[in-house]
Amino acid sequence: MKNSNIEIVDLWDHLLINPAEISTGSNTPYTVYGPFFKKFKGQLDKVNFDNEEDKDFKFEKLKDLDDELIESKLVTKSKTIFDEFLKNINFSGIGICPCRPGEIGAEKLLESFSSSNKITSYHLARDFPSEDGTSYLSGSLRFGTISIRSLWKKTLLLNLINEDTKKIQSIETWQKELAWREFYQHCLFHYPELEKGPYRKKWNNFSWNDNQEWFNRWSEGQTGVPIIDASMRQLNQSGWMHNRCRMIVASFLVKDLICNWKLGEKKFMELLVDGDLAANNGGWQWSASSGMDPKPLRIFNPYTQTKKFDPLCKYIKFWIPELSGINNSEIINGDISKLEKINYPSPIVSHNVQQRIFKTLYATI
C-alpha cells in the first residue's frame, strides 16, 4: 500500500488479549475453559478500553488521498458483498432476525441490552428461547461492527454503578459468554487443525451413520421432535438461533441421529448470520464430545430440555404453528396422537433407543 501512502497496522483488536500472550504455568495453551477464564480475567488490566493510541502503535494521518473517492469505493464494494449474501441465503423471515446490521444497529442493541434490566437478569433469562433475554450482538461481533473492547468496557461501567450482588453476578455471566468467544478463538489460533477435524483424535474412528434422509429432515425442521424442528425453522427463516437451541439441535444430530458433527457445523456456517469459524467449530465439538471439554460424554434429551426451557411451548408454537392447538404436556412428553397432528410428522427416531445405540458405538472408541 506504499503507493497510496497507507500504513498497515496489524493488531489483535478482534480479541481482548493476543493468544500468544496467555498460557498455562507450563507455557502451553489453555485447553480447558475454566482455568483459561481465570487467567484471562487476571490479564484484562493490560487492555486499553478507551480506544486511545496504544504505546506500541502509532497511527499516522493518511496523505494525498481523496477521502470521498475511497469512501465511495468501500461503500460500493461492501454493498455488493452484502447484496450477494442476501441473494444466496434469501431468508424468508429476515425481519425476524434479532441481529441488526451496521455500527448504529450494534450500538442500539448494546444500549437496549445494558440500559434495561436485560443484562442484570441475563443469568435468569438467557436459557429460555421464548424470552427476550440475550444481547443479540453475536452478529455484530462476527462482522466487526462493534468492538469486543466496547462490550467489555460497558460491563465494567455497569459493575461500578450496581451494588446488588445478583446483578453483578448476572453481568459476570455475560462476561463469561464473551470469554467463551475469546477461548474458542485462542484454541483455533493454537490448534488450527481443529478446522479440519476433532481435537480428540479417537473420534476419527467413530462409526457415523450419516443417514442422508435423517440429516435432510433435521436441516428442514421436519424430524417430528418439536424443539428440534422449531429451532431449525428459526435458523432457516431468520439466519439466527437461540444459543440453548443450538446445543439441543447439535446434540440431537450427533447423539440421536448419529450424523457426523462436521455436517452440522457446515450447515450452521451456511445459514448463521453470526457464523464464526472458531465459535461454531468449538460449539459443535463441545456438543459432539470431540473437543476440549473435560466432560467426555454429554447427551441432551430434547424432551427434558423442552420441559426446562420452553415449559409453556411458546417458542415451539411460534415456529411450528401446526402445533398451536396441541396440549403443552403432549408436546413436552413427545406423545402427540396422530389424530391431533396437522401436517406434522411423527418422530423419525426414538431418543431412548438412539441413545443406547450411540453409547454402544461410543464404547468402541
By the 10 Å C-beta count (0-12 exposed, 13-18 middle, 19+ buried), 163 is classed as: exposed
Out of 203, 240, 261, 319, the active site residue is 261
**Which of 152, 174, 180, 214 does the annotation list as catalytic?**
180
- Out of 208, 209, 211, 330, the active site residue is 208
Dihedral-angle region of residue 295 (phi above 0 means left; psi in -120 to 50 means alpha; beta otherwise) = beta
88-97: long-range contacts at Cβ-Cβ below 8 A with a sequence spacing of 24 or more? 89/239, 89/271, 91/236, 91/237, 91/238, 91/239, 92/236, 92/237, 93/237, 93/238, 94/238, 94/239, 96/234, 96/237, 96/238, 97/139, 97/238, 97/239, 97/240, 97/273
Q: Is residue 284 annotated as part of the catalytic site, yes or no? A: yes
User: At 42, is the secondary structure helix, strand, or coil?
Assistant: helix
Is residue 319 among the annotated active site residues?
A: no
**Residue in the structure block whose three cell numbers are 470521498:** 68
Listed residue (300, 308, 319) closest to 226, CA to CA: 319
| Active-site annotation holder among 177, 209, 211, 330 | 177
Which residue, 325, 361, 330, is CA-closest to 343? 325
- The length of the chain is 365
Closest CA to 140 of 278, 276, 284: 276
Assess whether 180 carries a catalytic annotation. yes
- 203 catalytic, yes or no? no
One of 218, 240, 284, 286 is an active-site residue; which one?
Answer: 284
Instruction: Identify whether 243 is a catalytic site residue.
Output: yes
Q: Among 172, 243, 328, 330, which one carries the catalytic annotation?
A: 243
Residues tagged active-site: 177, 180, 208, 243, 261, 284
